[in-house]
Amino acid sequence: MTTRFTRTFGVAHPIVQAGMSWASSNPALPAAVSNAGGLGVLAAGPMFVEDFRKALRTLKAATDKPFAVNVPLYRPQADEILDIVIEEEAPILIASQGGPKKYLGRFQTAGIKCIHVVASETHALKALEAGIDAIVAVGGEAGGHPPPEQVSTLVLVRAIAKAAPEAILIAGGGVADGAGIVAMLALGADAVQLGTRYLATKEATVHEAYKQKVLAAGIADTALVGAGMSPIRMVCNDFSARFLEAEAAGSDIEARRAIFAASSLKLAALDGDVANGKIEAGQSAGLIDDLPGAEDLTLRLIAEYRSTLARLAGLDIALESRLERSLQGVL
Ligand SMILES: Cc1cc2nc3c(=O)[nH]c(=O)nc-3n(C[C@H](O)[C@H](O)[C@H](O)COP(=O)(O)O)c2cc1C
């Protein structure tokens, strides 16, 4: 399938493996996805600066296909990380959590394509106005940082596609299979970003206990935690219960901040403390029940979206012949 995304970024398929702190902070996951024809993304979020440079070099050596680097702009030493992305000539930057003006000029000068992650229509339009090459729009179902207002992916993606039809739009949040990919393309997206689905792969570097929690979760087993701060969607556990109880009891923001800060993604992802850590994952956890290799998963997604398209084409033919028959009945 050729879209404006595949043409602009030189990627074979409109599939992006989302940048995920810890889970894709290693070269193996993005290399597997890029080699299979999707866009693999190395997540710089929690990495030490020199580890990041090494991982980036390993990734460059592991694939001759396009890949991207995800940099959350609020992380400490974000500027040093951005410098390394330029020095090492990574082909694509995907930045999140901040505005594009911070980096866009020097990346354009360096000839590196830039994609910006947004969770609202307003921020999408601002990023496009600044001159970004494409945007990722993340809706309420997503793991990590969905929009605080929880506008669903279905509505957010459609709104942005209508407001900015000329923009290259990558949809994220709630997609776990080929049917979801086709749904997003139908809304007007040019590609789809999948996070939680790629979290549940062999190459994702989160603790085995974390992966098992994602596999065990049903579609209603995640919650948005941290309202009034920078809320995350996560699989419910003791930590989320503590936070949500404090919230329901009307405890003040400082008390809630203390509970929130006492937990972390690292605690769950690296240490495997899935009772007290932040098990960031989206609602699509409830659609996932296996831990394939990332290359197999990418090939499966491609096969699934093709079979979904064939099913839709079949519906079209069935509809046409029904219409024909009913017209014949009339005439
Ligand atoms: C464990 C985890 C870590 C994440 N870390 C980051 C990150 O470092 N930077 C970022 O831009 N988004 C991050 N995200 C959000 C994803 O990039 C993506 O937008 C989201 O997972 C898409 O929704 P889905 O999980 O429903 O597929 C993270 C998501 C998860 C699940």
Domain boundary among 136, 171, 205: 205
Taking CB atoms and a 6 Å cutoff, what residues make up the pocket around ligand 1? 18-21, 23, 43, 45, 70, 72, 96, 117, 138, 141-144, 172-175, 193-197, 199, 280-282, 284
Shared domain for 200 and 224, answered yes or no, is no
pLDDT for residue 102? 87
Number of domains within the chain: 2
What is d(CA 50, CA 81) in angstroms, rounded to the nearest whole number? 9
pLDDT for residue 322? 77
Q: Would the CA dihedral through 8, 10, 15, 16 be positive or negative? A: negative
Shared domain for 135 and 10, answered yes or no, is yes
Shared domain for 39 and 104, answered yes or no, is yes
Ligand 1 geometric centre to CA of 39 (Å): 15
Ligand 1 geometric centre to CA of 24 (Å): 10
What is d(CA 224, CA 2) in angstroms, rounded to the nearest whole number? 35
Shared domain for 173 and 260, answered yes or no, is no
Q: In what order do the strands lie in the sheet with 40-43?
A: 15-17, 191-194, 169-172, 134-138, 113-118, 92-96, 67-72, 40-43
Shared domain for 50 and 117, answered yes or no, is yes
User: Which parts of the chain sit beneath pLDDT 70?
Assistant: 330-331
Give the pair of three-digit tokens for residue 296: 């197999």
Ligand 1 geometric centre to CA of 87 (Å): 26
Shared domain for 30 and 175, answered yes or no, is yes
The closest residue, in CA terms, to atom 11 on ligand 1 is: 96
Residues 40, 194 contacting (CB under 8 angstroms): no
Q: CA 275: distance to chain centroid?
A: 24
> Does a structural domain hold residue 312?
no
Bridge-based pairing state of the strands 67-72 and 92-96: parallel
Give the pair of three-digit tokens for residue 67: 């890949």
Give the pair of three-digit tokens for residue 246: 């404090």
Shared domain for 24 and 160, answered yes or no, is yes
pLDDT for residue 169? 98
pLDDT for residue 26? 98
**Closest ligand 1 atom to Cα of 139:** 23
Ligand 1 geometric centre to CA of 192 (Å): 13
Domain boundary among 263, 284, 305: 284
Shared domain for 217 and 183, answered yes or no, is no
**Closest ligand 1 atom to Cα of 281:** 31
Which residue has tokens 């360096």? Answer: 110
pLDDT for residue 315? 85
pLDDT per residue over 143-197, tens digit each?
999 999 999 999 999 999 999 999 999 999 999 999 999 999 999 999 999 999 9
Shared domain for 153 and 251, answered yes or no, is no
> Does a structural domain hold residue 76?
yes
Shared domain for 155 and 48, answered yes or no, is yes
What is d(CA 154, CA 219) in angstroms, rounded to the nearest whole number? 16
Domain boundaries, position 213 = 208-284
pLDDT per residue over 66-97, tens digit each?
999 999 999 999 999 999 999 999 999 999 99
Shared domain for 191 and 235, answered yes or no, is no
Shared domain for 75 and 147, answered yes or no, is yes
pLDDT for residue 331? 57
Pocket test for ligand 1, best of 15, 21, 301 (most atoms within 8 A of CB): 21
> Does a structural domain hold residue 294?
no
Domain boundary among 205, 230, 264: 205
DSSP state of 143: S
**Closest ligand 1 atom to Cα of 136:** 19
> Does a structural domain hold residue 190?
yes
Q: What is the CATH number of the domain that holds 99?
A: 3.20.20.70
